[in-house]
């Protein structure tokens, strides 16, 4: 795992199309118990080099019920987005994650996470990739279907971005039903 992480952090495969250049941002250990598959770093995370070092990360830690030291303990939590480098802007938001990461690195990295008990699929890109045809056609559908995926140790979540506040307000069942179960499953996966 350490050698692979060094290889990933030196990756320049899409240098020609990344607006701020390559800076892979991720966290993982072969001991990790909870895997968070997110989207891709935003500009702030690109600048700091720290995964989920932004408002989305604050909300995600609150959802998981984890303090900052636990969240950033790779032996407990792996933070592996669909794309490891900031992909730039498109329309009113961030561009989709670069597809090269999931093709090049995920097949080598994810099999090394042999101690993961719970995988959190944060956002539509992670859900479409991991669930494929087993997932619902929309993010809301996938998250509503959360109980079915728990049997396989997976939980689809909306992206915790401030841009999604409207979704959180329109879907109060998420905070009421899903978040308590999420916190419970995270504690169980971590052995707390
Ligand atoms: S996005 Fe992924 S494949 Fe592209 S340069 Fe970054 S680490 Fe390499």
pLDDT above 90 (res 15): yes
Instruction: Name the CATH code of domain 2-190 (choices 3.40.470.10, 1.10.10.10, 1.25.10.10, 3.40.50.920).
Output: 3.40.470.10
Query: Where is pLDDT greater, at 131 or 41?
Result: 41
pLDDT above 70 (res 135): no
Separation of CA 111 and ligand 1 centre (Å): 19
* Residue of 9, 14, 15 to mutate, ligand 1, most atoms within 8 A of C-beta: 14
pLDDT digits (tens, 9 = 90+) for 54-97: 999 999 999 999 999 999 999 999 999 999 999 998 887 889 99
Question: In the chain, where are the structural domains located?
Answer: 2-190
pLDDT score at 139: 87
Instruction: Give the DSSP H/E element, type plus range, for residue 36.
Output: strand 34-37
Measured CA distances, 158 to 46, 56, 77, 111, 162 (Å) = 21, 11, 19, 25, 11
Q: Which of 45, 37, 105 is nearest to 77 (CA)?
A: 37
pTM for this predicted structure: 0.95
- Pocket of ligand 1, beta carbon within 6 A: 8, 11-14, 22, 24, 83-85, 98, 100-101, 104
pLDDT score at 40: 96
Q: Which atom of ligand 1 is nearest to the CA of 11?
A: 8
For the chain, the first-to-last Cα distance in angstroms comes to: 25
% of the chain beyond a pLDDT of 70: 98
pLDDT score at 133: 65
Query: What rounded mean pLDDT belongs to the chain?
Result: 95
Separation of CA 140 and ligand 1 centre (Å): 29
Separation of CA 125 and ligand 1 centre (Å): 16
């Amino acid at each position: 795992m350490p050698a692979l992480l060094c290889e990933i952090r030196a990756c320049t495969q899409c240098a020609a199309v990344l607006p701020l250049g390559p800076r892979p941002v991720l966290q993982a250990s072969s001991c990790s118990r909870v895997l968070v598959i997110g989207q891709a770093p935003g500009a702030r995370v690109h600048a700091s080099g720290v995964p989920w070092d932004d408002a989305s990360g604050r909300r995600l830690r609150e959802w998981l019920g984890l303090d900052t030291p636990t969240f950033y303990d790779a032996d407990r939590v792996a933070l592996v987005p669909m794309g490891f480098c900031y992909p730039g802007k498109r329309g009113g938001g961030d561009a989709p994650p670069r597809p090269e990461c999931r093709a090049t690195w995920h097949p080598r990295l994810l099999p090394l996470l042999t101690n993961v008990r719970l995988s959190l699929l944060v956002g539509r890109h992670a859900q479409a990739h991991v669930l494929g045809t087993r997932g619902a056609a929309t993010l809301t559908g996938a998250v509503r279907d959360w109980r079915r995926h728990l049997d396989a140790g997976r939980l689809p979540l909306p992206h915790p971005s401030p841009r999604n506040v409207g979704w959180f307000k329109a879907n109060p069942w998420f905070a009421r039903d899903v978040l308590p179960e999420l916190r419970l499953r995270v504690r169980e996966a971590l052995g707390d």
